[in-house]
Amino acid sequence: MKSFEPHVLSPMQLQSYLQTAIAPRPIAFASTIDANGKPNLSPFSFFNVFSSNPPILVFSPARRVRNNTVKHTLLNCEATKQVVINIVDYNIVQQMSLSSTEYPDGVNEFIKSGLTMLPSDMVKPYRVAESPVQFECKVNEIIALGNQGGAGNLIICEVVKIHISENVLDDNGMVDQQKIDLVARLGGNWYTRANKGLFEVEKPLVTLGIGVDAIPDFIKESKFFDGNDLGKLGNIETLPTEEEINIFVKNNVAVKGVLSSDDTEKIHLKAKEYLNNNEVLSAWKVLLAKL
């Protein structure tokens, strides 16, 4: 067995050991607004429920390990004392991941991730309409745990209103654990689906995905692509060039056959096949080949 005292590890190593060993972790999909009313949306896996009476949720936007900066969510909670914590199910996991991209200040992650802003009843931040459960919260206290990269900031939230989709309720009006299809975070690119097991989601780090808002309408309006598909497509940093597309089609007999049929359904289903295998660039090449 290997043993370490935390101080001998680099902040990155320590964070990695903690995140891979203490898992799976639920995800607080936190919606906030800044002092000027601009919305922000970001996920945090240092999160859980700590009291039912009063109903208290706690999540922690840690200082970034690589440069010791703080996140907009923390600044917004300090400024407004309000947050909505949206629960993440499998249907929105890719869009949730895309929202974690570190876009510049002022960029609306709702728009970038293709999620819908739903007005709250008792707080100013918007809810994520696609989330199965949404908790409107007031911020009771924020506790800084340090001032170095990796240090957490406990945001202690009191739930003031709960919204639950009827689609995840059982006959007795309680949340059905099969229907809600929750996901949780592990280390690296790994997640777990409560009723299915492990899967990977490529995490945006230093790249900036083009966002769902940059996807052409003929793709966004296709009946064959769900929110997770759009999240994958929006997570790419740059679209393939015409030359790259032509080479791909020329060297792929199956794709060439689908494209020659000029059948939109077949083309989209072929792209969907690539998306299911996490071959996002190939999916884009199929979709853009006929433009």
The pLDDT tens digits of the residues spanning 194-211 come to 888 888 887 776 668 899
The pLDDT tens digits of the residues spanning 210-219 come to 999 999 999 9
Average pLDDT over residues 164-175: 96
Neighbours of 172 (CB within 10 A): 6
Q: Dihedrals φ, ψ of 249, to 5°? A: -65, -40
Q: Dihedrals φ, ψ of 206, to 5°? A: -100, -10
Residue 32 near residue 123, CB atoms below 8 Å: no
Average pLDDT over residues 102-128: 95
Strands 117-118 and 28-33: unpaired
Measured distance CA(93)–CA(79) in Å, rounded: 28
Q: What is the pLDDT confidence band of residue 103, given thresholds at 50, 70 and 90? A: confident
Give the domain ranges of the chain: 6-200, 212-288
| CATH assignment of 6-200, among 3.40.50.300, 2.30.110.10, 2.60.40.10, 2.40.100.10 | 2.30.110.10
The pLDDT tens digits of the residues spanning 228-275 come to 999 999 999 999 999 999 999 999 998 999 998 889 999 999 999 999
Measured distance CA(85)–CA(67) in Å, rounded: 26
Start-end of H helices in 10-143: 11-21, 72-80, 93-99, 109-113
The pLDDT tens digits of the residues spanning 36-61 come to 999 999 999 999 999 999 999 999 99
pLDDT given for residue 65 in this prediction = 81
